[in-house]
Structure 1
Amino acid sequence: MNLQQFRMWHTLSLTLALVSIVLLCPGVNCSKILVVPLDGSHWLNMEIILRRLHSRGHEITVLRSLKSWYIPENSTIYTSINVRMLEDEEDLEVYNRLLLDVIECRKKSHFVRSFCQQYLITKLFSKGHGMLADSAALLLDDPVFMQKMHDAKFDLMLTDPAFPVGVILGRFLKLPVVFNVRWINNGESHFTMAPSPASYVPVSGTELSDQMDFADRVKNVLFYIYSQIEQHFYISPAYSDVFKRHFPPGTDLLSLELSADIWLVRADFVFEFPRPTMPNVVYIGGFQSQEPAPLSGDLKTFVESSGDHGIIVMSLGTFVSALPRETTEAIAAAFAELPQKVIWRFIGEPPASLGNNTLLVKWLPQKDLLGHPKTRAFVAHGGTNGMYEAIYHAVPVIGLPLLFDQFDNVHRLKARGAARVVEAYSLTKENFLEAVKDVVENLSYRENVQRLSRLHRDTPVTPMDTGIFWIEYAIRNKGAAHLQPAGYSLPWYSYFCLDVAAFLSAILVTVVWFSVFCCRIICCRRSKTKLKGE
């Protein structure tokens, strides 16, 4: 081999090596990412992100509970470590019992019922945050585990901060932190990190839109005050002992959360109401939505047999396994009178009133059914994932909200003219049948959701690619402190300029007092001069 051939071979080898590195892990060195997810439906969208990160060559470690509901211990895309989490103390029956209590709350007046169900959630969360604080303490107090974390030399913490174990661990390890977030502590994430004027930004749980009259604004302000009380008197104190023992003085839960480098917020303003935001917030709402795959087997046969009438899809999510028996019987009886075929994700004893047009399944390929041209409507509980999939595939919704944010979600879609809302506590065969027929037959619902779908899809970069870019951005730059507003570090009285207002008020009072004092002296002198003259 002569010198020229050697140089050509050497150049080709280097080129192939560089191409291999770029293809394996484009745009960033292959990194080690520590992930603390939330179980249930939150895990479903976290797993989608992890699969994309794994395909780009990143090494992923996931902390999970040994009794995890949905997070598998063995996976081809990550290595798992079993730790104590909330799932060790709870089971899915907790949410079924909560559902029955919420249904009772919904029977009260519109103003009262929101506070009633929020109080139920407060009780649940106050207990849950105590358990989560214990879980965080166990991790930080375990020298073997913590040494393992330090020795792994992770480049990033990716976590869902609805449960803050990942927030605490990530900051203790001094890692850049990226949130995959919509809900945090006691409400929607924006209320933690962005200005939220109560005059037009509805507080989580109020079921209000951004068009509020005076009574709505009263309710919104009261809910905001309640949420602050919940945060500062029920949630934050649960972690005080952990912070005293492991963090610098003055550390609290909110300060750790606000120090996150990037917030990947699962929201899109096609669905959310416009509101103030922050420079380190990236919107990835609907990132989990995908094009449908062809149906197969009995499901394909059932759907194709629906003819021109099409099908209706019903699913109530992952947490709640069943509605009260009388409710499911009413739903089944209403479905039986429809010309459409119905595919219903259902767990439990089949309703006695089930019609021949209804197929019960324990699992269904939701995206494939919603994306099928024969789908006419989606009966859903209002989970975020389902709402964005309905928007993505342009399917109008009959909302049957049950817990947590579901009431707000379906009311957002209702405000856009793309959904009807029915209540579990008052549901009858007649009113449910009327709602379904209205959504299927009234073209305005489909036209409105088609418009939302066009807007949602009209982006230069997909939400998934946007999210992956900013995760790798935080890795490349070892965080994104330059995007964090200075207001996060201000005390509350400085943030609201109350100290400035007090200072200016003091000056004004001093000037007024001095003016009055001078006027009194001048008036007294004139009075004395006048009396002497007389």
Structure 2
Amino acid sequence: MKVMIEELHARGHHMDVIRASSSWYIKADSPHYHTIHIPQEPVFEDIFGEFLDINFKAQQESASALTLIKLAKDMFSMMSNIHYLTGEMVIQMLEDENLVKYLLDAQYDLVLTDPVIGAGAILAKYLKLPLVLNARWNIGGEGHFDIAPSPLSYVPVPGSGLTDKMNFMQRVKNMLFYSLIVFQQRVLVGRHYNAVCDKYIEGGCDILTLHQEADIWLFRTDFVFDFPRPTMPNVVYIGGYQCKPSQPLPAELEEFVQSAGEHGVVIMTLGTLVKALPSEIADEIASVFAKMPQKVIWRHIGERPSTLGNNTLIVEWMPQRDLLGHSQIKAFVAHGGTNGVQESIYHGVPVLGIPLFFDQYDNLLHLQEKGAAKIIELANVNRHTFEQGLKEVLHQDSYRENMQRLSRLHRDQPITPMDHAIFWVEFVMRHKGAAHLRTEAYRMPWYAYYSVDVFLFLLTAVGLLMFTTAIMFRFLCCRGRRKIKNKQQ
């Protein structure tokens, strides 16, 4: 949310940012906001590290049913632990009388938070403030499924690897994945937050309802990228809101890029959570790069690949946005994170995707379905598959043409996604909420929402009518028979 906070600050708003003292990315000091520190041990990085090791192993090996079950168990355990620790952090905040007094006295206009963890939503409820959510994801999965009609017949569940065109067995798979999401959200994760709600929120609450009560939900996606689906009035689509025109590269990097000549440059990065691939896979990839006529810029931290060629520049950090906007960049080898996918669309650069975990496969699948990317799963990455995939993306014109078509569609908007996002944040401030855009469906019990009670009532009414009609016919028939019998006598 750093990009949005900087923009809000530039427009004259004042912000307090609550951060764990062990936060990876949120700086303790900033000219754009005042920081409130919550003491916390640096445990999250260790948790993700363990999960990455398990995930790599599962994808590299021929995954048996037992391996997959163990992976699912470890993933659920990791997610539960993260949300338990977050719940403990909320308790720590609400037990701090000085902090609570400061938060109440500050007279904030709203709470802007990421719904992937539940702390911000609980805090907004406790402080009785309007709530704006800034992410597509929540504690259990994808936010649309919490607030909008989501027919499983054509709305794929993230993680299922499905598109909006499903046959019967794929619809069965989609239903099973949705069941796992519901289990994770309501049973595995939600209980940690619900216990906090019961203790500190008058009348109690649950985390799902808190998210459904949000005034505005800023979704970092749009329908250039996403599959069409039902939505709601308080969902604001801001896909690519962090994207900006590229800036000039540092002199040394610009010189390297220009030295590629007509062949151009390939860039590769697997995001901030993954510093390096296993050495055997990195060596395979490096050997392919070494044979290419293109120059390569590769964000790689760790042991230097033994097969690295002279055409490949290894860096610990790269100006990804500025590189993607450079005319010399011909392809982007990426893991499929949200930022990278949206920036590749904005700049029109085709993608060779190596998804690792979470939403990355689904993100890349959206691009592949639109003809703008090719996916190679980690388990299938070797010298042959990587070279074949990279050459396909580089030399088949359809990939670049399709991505540039998506770029034109994405850019053809009346206002920029950032301006759209800021307008709705300020709208909530001006009107102290946006309850008129929020459906009241979440207040309904499930049987009323799905009209099960109406169906049973109508079924009962029809049954009674049919039963009454049958009784009447039987009565009239019996009476008629008696009259005939009396006449005959």
Shared fold by TM > 0.5? yes
Match of 2:48 among 77, 95, 114: 95
Please tell me the root mean square deviation across aligned C-alpha atoms, in Å: 2.0
In the alignment, is residue 265 of structure 1 matched against residue 222 of structure 2? Answer: no
Q: 1:483 to 1:91 in 2, by over 3 A?
A: closer
| Contact kept? 1:111, 1:219, Cα under 8 Å | no
Distance 2:135 2:395 in 1: 36
Match of 2:10 among 38, 55, 67: 55
Residue 477 (structure 1) aligns with: 431
- 1:105-136 per-residue CA deviation (whole Å, 9 max, x = no partner) reads 44668999998865543222112111111111
Deviation at 1:467, TM superposition (A): 0.5
Match of 1:161 among 115, 128, 135: 115
- 1:363-404 per-residue CA deviation (whole Å, 9 max, x = no partner) reads 000011111100000000000000000000000000000010
Deviation at 1:519, TM superposition (A): 2.8
Deviation at 1:182, TM superposition (A): 1.2
Distance 1:114 1:270 in 2: 33
Letter in 2 for 1:245: K
1:333-482 map, 5 Å: 333-482=287-436
Deviation at 1:344, TM superposition (A): 0.3
Letter in 2 for 1:308: E
Distance 1:330 1:399 in 2: 16
Moved more, 235-244 or 407-416: 235-244
Letter in 2 for 1:90: V
Distance 1:178 1:169 in 2: 12
Match of 1:73 among 28, 33, 42: 28
| Contact kept? 2:267, 2:333, Cα under 8 Å | yes
SS at match of 1:92: helix
Q: 1:123 to 1:505 in 2, by over 3 A?
A: same
Match of 1:297 among 236, 246, 251: 251
Deviation at 1:470, TM superposition (A): 0.7
Residue 501 (structure 1) aligns with: 455
Residue 9 (structure 1) aligns with: none
Distance 1:117 1:212 in 2: 26
Letter in 2 for 1:343: I
| Contact kept? 2:140, 2:182, Cα under 8 Å | no
Deviation at 1:170, TM superposition (A): 1.1
Q: 1:420 to 1:184 in 2, by over 3 A?
A: same
| Contact kept? 2:225, 2:366, Cα under 8 Å | yes
Residue 134 (structure 2) aligns with: 180
Distance 1:286 1:111 in 2: 38
Q: 1:119 to 1:518 in 2, by over 3 A?
A: farther
Distance 1:263 1:434 in 2: 41
Residue 89 (structure 2) aligns with: 135
Deviation at 1:296, TM superposition (A): 2.2
- 1:341-361 per-residue CA deviation (whole Å, 9 max, x = no partner) reads 000001001010111111100
Deviation at 1:516, TM superposition (A): 2.3
Moved more, 255-264 or 395-404: 255-264
Deviation at 1:225, TM superposition (A): 1.8
Distance 1:220 1:257 in 2: 23
Query: 5+ unaligned residues in a row in structure 1: which ranges?
Result: 1-45
In the alignment, is residue 122 of structure 1 matched against residue 76 of structure 2? Answer: yes
Q: 1:47 to 1:443 in 2, by over 3 A?
A: same
Quote the sequence identity (%).
45
| Contact kept? 2:47, 2:78, Cα under 8 Å | no
In the alignment, is residue 202 of structure 1 matched against residue 156 of structure 2? Answer: yes
Distance 1:198 1:113 in 2: 28
Distance 1:446 1:91 in 2: 38
Distance 1:453 1:173 in 2: 41
Match of 2:38 among 80, 83, 93: 83
Residue 519 (structure 1) aligns with: 473
| Contact kept? 1:417, 1:444, Cα under 8 Å | yes
Residue 326 (structure 1) aligns with: 280
Deviation at 1:153, TM superposition (A): 1.3
Distance 2:264 2:154 in 1: 40
- 1:282-303 per-residue CA deviation (whole Å, 9 max, x = no partner) reads 1110011111111123211111
Q: 1:189 to 1:494 in 2, by over 3 A?
A: same
Deviation at 1:146, TM superposition (A): 0.3
SS at match of 2:467: helix
TM-score normalised according to structure 1 size: 0.88
Q: 1:339 to 1:153 in 2, by over 3 A?
A: same
Distance 1:402 1:189 in 2: 22
Q: 1:129 to 1:502 in 2, by over 3 A?
A: same
Distance 1:317 1:311 in 2: 19
- 1:42-72 per-residue CA deviation (whole Å, 9 max, x = no partner) reads xxxx111111111111111101111111111
Distance 1:354 1:73 in 2: 38
SS at match of 1:342: strand
Moved more, 180-189 or 358-367: 180-189
Q: 1:201 to 1:105 in 2, by over 3 A?
A: farther
Residue 144 (structure 2) aligns with: 190
Distance 1:500 1:219 in 2: 30
Distance 1:456 1:242 in 2: 41
Letter in 2 for 1:102: N
Distance 1:515 1:117 in 2: 60
Letter in 2 for 1:99: L
Q: 1:296 to 1:241 in 2, by over 3 A?
A: closer
- 1:442-493 per-residue CA deviation (whole Å, 9 max, x = no partner) reads 0000000000000000001000011111111110111111111121221111
Q: 1:419 to 1:117 in 2, by over 3 A?
A: farther
Q: 1:329 to 1:163 in 2, by over 3 A?
A: same
Query: 5+ unaligned residues in a row in structure 2: which ranges?
Result: none
Q: 1:436 to 1:352 in 2, by over 3 A?
A: same
SS at match of 1:313: strand
Moved more, 99-108 or 424-433: 99-108
SS at match of 2:380: coil
